[in-house]
Amino acid sequence: MNSAEATADLRPSLAANPYAPAGLIERLGQAGSVEVRAAAASNPSAGPGLLAELAGDADDVVRQHVARNSSCPPEPLAKLSGDEIVQIRVEVAANPATQTGVIEKLASDTDRTVRAAVAGNLRCPRPRLLELATDPEARVRHCVLQNPEASPDALASAYEPDDFMSRLFLARNPAGGTRVALLVGVGFAMFGAALSMLRLSPNGARGAETVRVREGQRGLGE
C-alpha cells in the first residue's frame, strides 16, 4: 500500500474525529467519497455551516448522519424532518437537539417508527406523550412507557395489563423517582422488578407518586 492509499484509508477516521482541526473536518466534509462525508456529518465537532450543507447532500446515508448528530443546529434538523426517507425522520425525531416545534410535527407522522422515536425523546412535550400513549401501534405506546419524562397519566394510558412487554417497560421506568406499583395481573417477578426500580430511584419512596394499574381500570392512587 502506498502513502496515498494509506492516507485515503484514514480519511473516514479523521473526518469523524472530534479532536480533528475544524478546517480539516470542513475539507473532508466536501470530499467526493460518501463514506468520508458521512463520517464528517457524524462528527460532533463539525461546524454548523458544514452540517447545514450536508443536510442537503444527495446521499441518504450522509443526511442520516446529519440527522443523528446531537450537535446539529435546529435549522438543518427542521429541514430533515420533512425528508422522504423514513429513517432520516426517525433520527430527527430521536435527536435531543431537535426543537419542540419539530417534535410536535413528527408526533403525527404517518410512519409508526417516527412516532415511536418521538415517544422516546426526552424533549417530547408531555401533552404529546399523553396523545401518543393511546397510539394504535403498540411500538409507540411501549416507547411512552420507557420515557422517564412521561407523566403518570401517560403511563397509565399506555399501559396494557395483558401485554407482557407493557408490564416490563412500566416496571423498568424510573420516572424520576416515581414509584410504579403493578397491583393486579403482574407476577411476583414483575412486581419485584418494579420494587427494584424504586430502590434504585434517586428519590426513593419519599414524596413519590404511585401509579396503580388495576384489571379493567387505569388510574392513579396515593
d(CA 7, CA 20): 15
d(CA 208, CA 70): 32
pLDDT of 210 higher than 70: no
Largest Cα separation within the chain, whole Å, is 72
* pLDDT tens figures, 12-67: 999 999 999 999 999 999 999 999 999 999 999 999 999 999 999 999 999 999 99
Residues in the chain: 222
Domain count, the chain: 1
Q: What percent of the chain has pLDDT over 70?
A: 75
Does some domain include residue 200? no
- Residue 65 belongs to domain spanning: 7-95
Does some domain include residue 192? no
Does some domain include residue 13? yes
Does some domain include residue 180? no
Does some domain include residue 26? yes
Does some domain include residue 139? no
Per residue, the 3-state secondary structure of 125-144, as one string, reads: CHHHHHHHCCCCCHHHHHHH
Does some domain include residue 218? no
For the full predicted model, state whether its pTM sits above 0.85: no
Q: What is the pLDDT of residue 2?
A: 53
